[in-house]
Copies of this chain bind each other. A is one copy, B any other.
Amino acid sequence: MLASVSARRLPRSVREPQMLDAAVAEFARLGFHAASMDDIAARAGVSKPMVYAYLGAKDDVFVACLHREGTRVMQAIVDVVDPALAPDEQLWHGMRAFFGYVAANRDGWSVLYRQAQGPFADEVATMRARMIEVVAGMLARAVEGRGRSSRTTDLTPLAFALVGASESLADWLADHPDEKPELVAGRLMNVVWLGAGQLLDGVTWRPLAPAGRR
């Protein structure tokens, strides 16, 4: 039986990406520790020492996965966010690109979001921080555009919440393949922008006074 993925003896330039695809799939399925180098190799249509020859040890393989998928998602967003657009349009475009990546690349997102823990957390944390910074900056410009001034410190946690909500919803999307990414992005955009929009205009929600019960 011939493994479907490989006509034998492929050049490195095609075999190596195959290995990364296989690694991403396995890491997504089982997590870093439970995934085995043998399984990754087998899925790539090759035997274990080839993986070591091209990608190195297991840690290296994992980092390579994080790097490739991380670059992909960042690039997907950067490609569509035009600084000349209005802030809400920027957010909208970015969100669509993000959910598009997740929908087209579920395993990659799973590895980035769910599996990158422990010693590998830093690899992802940097990118996440950059993303949040960008969002916070965008919000800051939105505030100024409305003639208000707000300290950046107040916007960072908001940016955190937005990114977090996106990530969580992306996770949900990964388990609901029927949902259109566009639609999910629209839903999220609605709640965050209507909410953020009011906040930026100075409208705030307040709880009832803690002492008096109504």
Residues of A within 8 A of B (CB): 29-34, 88-89, 92, 114, 117-118, 154, 156-158, 160-169, 171-172, 179, 184, 186-199, 203-205, 207-208
The residues of B that contact A168 with a CB separation of less than 8 Å are 160-161, 163-165, 167-168
For the residues of A in contact with B, the DSSP-based class is: helix
- Given A164-B164, A164-B171, A195-B195, 14 further pairs, Cβ under 8 A: A31-B118, A33-B33, A34-B118, A114-B114, A114-B117, A157-B172, A158-B191, A161-B169, A165-B168, A189-B207, A191-B196, A193-B195, A194-B199, A195-B198
Sample (19) of A-B pairs whose CB atoms are under 8 Å apart: A31-B33, A89-B207, A157-B169, A157-B187, A158-B187, A160-B168, A160-B169, A160-B171, A160-B172, A161-B187, A161-B191, A164-B169, A165-B168, A189-B205, A190-B205, A191-B196, A194-B198, A194-B203, A194-B204
